[in-house]
Each structure stands twice: as C-alpha cells, then as structure tokens.
Amino acid sequence: MALGPRDDGLAILCRALCCSFGDHEVLNSLDLAVPAGRCVAMMGPSGSGKTTLLHVLAGLITPDSGDVEVAGLDLVSASARALARHRRERVSMVFQFGELLPELNVAENVSLPLRLSGKRPDEGRVQGALEAVGLRDPGAWPAQLSGGETQRAAVARALVTRPAVLLCDEPTGSLDAANSEQVVRLLLESAHQSAATLIVSTHDPAVAARMDETWLLNDGSLRSLRCR
C-alpha cells in the first residue's frame, strides 16, 4: 500500500527485519532508519548480508519477517505490480557488475527505465546522464565497454529516473582510483541536487569517508561506525 510522504522525515524504515536462506540467517532482527537526503556507506565482510539488505530495500527480496518502508511504500504488503512501479519511479539500484542488457546499446540501456515506465525517453535527458558519467558513445554495445565504462553506464541508468532512493552495491568495486572518484562524486552530487537518499555498500574506506555516515553490517545487525 502507498503510504505517502513520511511526517517523520524518514526515507527508509526497517523494524525487526529478518532474512535467511535455508538454515543461514543473514539479517537478524535488523532495525534501520534513514532520513531523506542522507548519504550512507555500508561496510562489512563478504557474506555479511550487504547485498541482501540492498535487495530487500529495492523490493527484490521479501524478508522472512519485519517491516520495510522505502520512499513511502510498505514493501512487505505491496503487490508485485506496485513493487515494479516503485522500482521504476522511486527507487533505483546500481548492481555490483553493472548488469547491462547485451542486446541494447548504451543509450538504450540508460533509457530502459523510462521506457518501462511507459514514457517516451527524452534524448536530451539520456544524453545528459551519459555525459555526466563521461560516456561519449551512446551507440556502443556493452561487449565493447571496459569494466569501468560498464559501471558508469549502470550509474547513468540508475540516475536517469531521478529516484528518491538510490541503492548502490559496490559501485566502485571494479574501478581504478580515477574512475572510482568520478563515480562517487557523481553519486553524491546527484543525491544532493535532488535531495535523494543514497545507500552505498563498499569495502573501500575512502568511499565510505565521503558519505555522511558509515554503518557496519555484521552478524545480521547494523551498528554505526561514523556519523557527521
């Protein structure tokens, strides 16, 4: 069900969130509250559940129990159609390895969320998103891109809808230092310009230091490492 804008200023709220795969408990009664417009880094060892938590917040995984509200929608009770619309219009995700569709060129990949929303893509808007991430060949195919270019195209695709919540799973994991800095700067600038909430999972302390605060996810729960 749609909840509308929260009067407490929160973009994300989770209560007693539990999620497991078979006998392996990944998230254990996790609580989380993120104010709108906040930029947060999430760190933790491999396998600690960072990707799982991002997928829950994106509505891609249904938790075993608990409450999840993101950008005005109760994800637990929402229908599949409402969740799909929510991902098209309110929440975007940058996956760890880009996940571009190989049969679409760069511009078509970037414009795909707009097409799925039933909108005719604004070529200027798509081109602007590509230029913002430093990609100058909209007709290139994913197979022709380097790992860094693939990730930058994925960032452009996530930003083109101007989401209220942007979730990024290791967005700089395959990038060199220069490209990593460019992507992080773009994510922060885009979040600040649109007052979007940004959640970035990362193993890089330099990336985490650029965010407003840093959490550690371990043993199924979150704790704050740094806040400013």
* pLDDT at res. 8: 62
0.75 exceeded by pTM: yes
Listed in sequence order, the residues at least 6 apart from 13 whose beta carbon sits closer than 8 Å to its beta carbon are 6, 32, 33, 34, 67, 68, 69
Q: Is residue 2 part of a domain?
A: no
For residue 130, is it within any domain? yes
Whether residue 1 is contained in a domain is answered as no
167: Cβ–Cβ under 8 A, 6 or more apart, which residues? Answer: 54, 57, 58, 91, 92, 93, 94, 199
Residue 185 exposure: Cα atoms within 13 Å on the Cβ side: 9
* Within-domain flag for 52: yes
Q: What stretches in the chain show pLDDT beneath 50? A: 1-7
Structural contact between residues 83 and 115, judged by C-beta atoms closer than 8 angstroms: no
Q: Please give the residue range of the domain that contains residue 87.
A: 10-227
- The answer to whether 135 touches 149, Cβ cutoff 8 Å, is yes
- Sheet of 24-35: strand order equals 24-35, 10-21, 65-70, 73-74
Helix then strand then coil, in percent of the chain rounded to 5, is 35, 30, 35
Residue 78 domain-assigned?
yes
State the pLDDT at residue 160: 87
Residue type for 35, please?
P
Predicted confidence at residue 17, as pLDDT, reads: 94
CATH number at residue 87: 3.40.50.300
Is position 81 within any domain?
yes
Q: Which of 96, 142, 140, 86 minimizes the C-alpha distance to 116?
A: 86
**Residue 5 pLDDT:** 41
pLDDT of residue 159: 87
pLDDT, tens digit, 9 for 90 and up, residues 2-21: 334 444 689 999 999 999 99
Going by C-alpha positions, the residue among 203, 213, 157, 214 that lies closest to residue 180 is 203
- Provide the domain count of the chain: 1
